[in-house]
Structure 1
């Protein structure tokens, strides 16, 4: 089975494998979590925004949220994820949305799951 590449169009970059892309963005999320930072500008912000938007369009999920709100930031959070019947603490992104009335909401976002979906769509069999 051939490795799936992942093209991040926001910076016109191709990762040679899905795992390489997942590790790269996982490190960004962990850094945000450990430093308790919120990412609001820059290339990493644009990349995460592109990944989330592309994932939503591919899966037809949260399209109403994308059209009615602006993504204003990303931060690292701790959550519990089910894997193989076990619940494991893990870090993930929280996307910060702002709507026209300046209300802010947050939503969990797993970059590894989104990148996997993007790789599947970019590399159909």
Structure 2
């Protein structure tokens, strides 16, 4: 099976493999978690925003949220994720949305899952 490339259109960059893209963005999320930072601007912010919106578009999920709310930040959190029947602590991304009236909501977001879906759509045959 040929490796799936992943194109991140927000920075016009092509990762040679799915794993390479996942590793790159997992490191960003881990850094946000370790430093307890909220990312609100810059290339990494634009990339994560593009990944989330592309994923939602490909899966038809949260499209109403994207039309009603604005993404204003990303932060890293530690959560427990079920994988193969085991519950494993892992870092994931939280997206911060605002409605423009200083009301904000947050939602967990797994970059590895989104990037996998994007790779499948970009490499469909």
Structure 2 CA distance for aligned equivalents of residues 93 and 124 of structure 1: 27
- Runs of 4+ in structure 1 displaced over 2 angstroms? none
Structure 1 CA distance for aligned equivalents of residues 25 and 84 of structure 2: 23
1:6-37 alpha-carbon deviations (Å, 9 max, x no partner): 00000000000000000000000000000000
Q: Helix, strand or coil for the counterpart of 1:124? A: coil
Structure-2 residue corresponding to 1:53? 53
Structure 1 CA distance for aligned equivalents of residues 102 and 53 of structure 2: 20
Q: Helix, strand or coil for the counterpart of 2:30? A: helix
Structure-1 residue corresponding to 2:76? 76
Structure-1 residue corresponding to 2:111? 111
Matched positions, count: 125
Structure-1 residue corresponding to 2:42? 42
User: How is 1:1-125 mapped onto 2 (pairs within 5 angstroms)?
Assistant: 1-125=1-125
TM-score by length of 2: 0.99
Q: Helix, strand or coil for the counterpart of 2:89? A: strand
Instruction: Please say which of residues 45-54 and 93-102 is displaced more in the overlay.
Output: 93-102
TM-score by length of 1: 0.99
Structure 2 CA distance for aligned equivalents of residues 79 and 108 of structure 1: 9
Q: Helix, strand or coil for the counterpart of 2:101? A: coil
Gaps of 5+ in 2: none
Deviation at 1:101, TM superposition (A): 2.1
